């Protein structure tokens, strides 16, 4: 069962990375390029966007490693904490004036990754 939870969390993070990096990146950059932002600001915005995609890929890869090699379980805790804090940030910003964030999948996918990964790690340590 632990393997199931860890692999499910990993697949959610991987799916999020693919969607965020490719589909979301194309939509996001279309909006950024049509804005009045300076070219450097546009470039930095793209870097920031894709750094989150990299975070999702690292989350996925780490959770797969932990699922396959349970003795590496400690590697999973920073990933799960980062996902939980990221979901919390979405929520905090969403309820303090940035309500459109609550309509995006980020908070929900990061929460699900953190919860499923936690269930997998807790199950491994029992």
Q: Give the separation between CA 31 and CA 77, rounded to whole angstroms.
A: 35
Residue ranges making up the domain that contains 77: 2-125
Q: pTM higher than 0.75, yes or no? A: yes
> What's the number of domains the chain is made of?
1
Predicted confidence at residue 123, as pLDDT, reads: 83
For 39-66, the pLDDT digits (tens) are: 999 999 999 999 999 999 999 999 999 9
Return the half-sphere exposure (C-beta side, CA atoms, 13 A cut-off) of residue 99.
Answer: 0
Find the radius of gyration of the CA atoms of the chain.
16
pLDDT at residue 124 in the model: 74
């Amino acid at each position: 069962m632990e393997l199931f939870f860890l692999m499910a969390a990993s697949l959610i993070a991987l799916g999020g990375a693919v969607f965020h990096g490719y589909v979301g990146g194309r939509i996001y950059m279309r909006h950024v390029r049509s804005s009045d932002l300076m070219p450097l600001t546009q470039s930095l915005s793209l870097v920031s966007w894709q750094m989150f995609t990299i975070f999702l890929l690292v989350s996925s890869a780490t959770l797969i490693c932990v699922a396959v090699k349970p003795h590496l379980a400690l590697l999973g805790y920073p990933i799960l904490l980062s996902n939980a804090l990221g979901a919390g940030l979405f929520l905090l910003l969403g309820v303090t004036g940035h309500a459109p964030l609550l309509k995006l999948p980020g908070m929900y996918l990061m929460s699900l990754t953190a919860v499923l990964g936690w269930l997998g790690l807790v199950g491994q340590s029992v």
